[in-house]
Amino acid sequence: MQMGEVTVPAVWEHIRRFMEEDGPHLAPGEVLQSFYPPKGFLQCMVATGPYGKNFRTWWRDYPLFMVMGLVFFPIVFPLMTLVGIFSWLSYKTAVPIKWSAAVLAAVGPALKQAK
Cα separations in angstroms, 46 against 56, 85, 93:
12, 11, 19
- What value does the mean pLDDT of the chain take? 83
CA 25 to chain centre: 19
Phi, psi of 55 (to 5 degrees): -60, -50
**Contact partners, residue 41, CB within 8 Å, separation at least 6:** 84, 88
Write out the chain's pLDDT in tens, 115 residues: 577 788 888 888 888 888 888 777 777 777 777 777 788 888 888 888 777 788 888 889 989 988 998 899 898 888 888 998 999 999 899 998 898 989 888 877 776 665 5
**What length does the chain have?**
115
pLDDT attached to residue 113:
62
